[in-house]
Amino acid sequence: MAYTYLITGATSDVGAALIRHLLTEAPGEDRTILAQGCGDLARLDALVQQFPGRIVTFDADLSSPEAVDALCARFGKDLPCPTHFVHLPALPVVNAKFKAFDEARFQKDWEIQVHSAVKLCKAVLPAMSKAKFGRVLFIQTSYTIGCPPKNTAAYVMNKSAIGGLVKSLAVEYARFGITVNCVAPSMMETHFLKDTPDLIVQAAAADNPMGRNATPEDVAPAMAFLLSEEARFITGVTLPVTGGSAIV
């Protein structure tokens, strides 16, 4: 079977690691990656060269509902309908006390993470339902498991909304052979942390039972599993990838 993976936020470190994993773990399978970025597609140049003809890149500003609508209209036309949808985009975490809550930034992140997810799911789920097969995967955070750290209200609120969407879609679409899941990594040392003070990053590593923070290479295999045929009876779950720092 030919698989088409739509990966939004593909230019992130996690997105690149997942693409590399998907295209190397099953070299005999027919897999095409639709990789979305926003003004940063050059980050995927090395992968495009490594896997010629396997990755289709496109630029779309997910903070713009109009741009998301335009993207959704392309599926089944100049872009194939995805069999797999992985939604990764988010603004970098900003640690700020609630009294300094930035409503404009929160709204932008809501559009990028949540509103675009709703629109894209509405666009891709009908074809998956007709085919009686589909995989949908989101990235949450260990911050939504148990007690979150202080000064992360905006980030936790958006990620919690994603968790609610996952559970609702999982129940509604299970009968169509579609699974909907999340991975919830602990802190990963990527460019996503560029606005997070080093002391916070170092403290998270010291507090982790494994003595370090996560890497994209830790998370990509877990994501690939939830996207696989072997995970066909797993839906509506949030899988912690935390080195033991958050356990459910």
Q: Which residues are catalytic?
A: 155
d(CA 170, CA 59): 29
Q: Quick check: 13 and 214 in contact, CB under 8 A? A: no
Q: Quick check: 8 and 89 in contact, CB under 8 A? A: yes
Q: At 145, list the tokens.
A: 């498991």
Q: Which amino acid is at 189?
A: E
User: Which long-range contacts does 165-172 make (Cβ < 8 Å, 24+ apart)?
Assistant: 165/114, 165/117, 165/118, 165/121, 165/138, 166/136, 166/138, 166/236, 166/238, 167/236, 169/121, 169/125, 169/136, 170/235, 170/236, 171/236
What is the DSSP track for 168-217? HHHHHHGGGTEEEEEEEE--B-SGGGTTS-HHHHHHHHHHSTTSS-B-HH
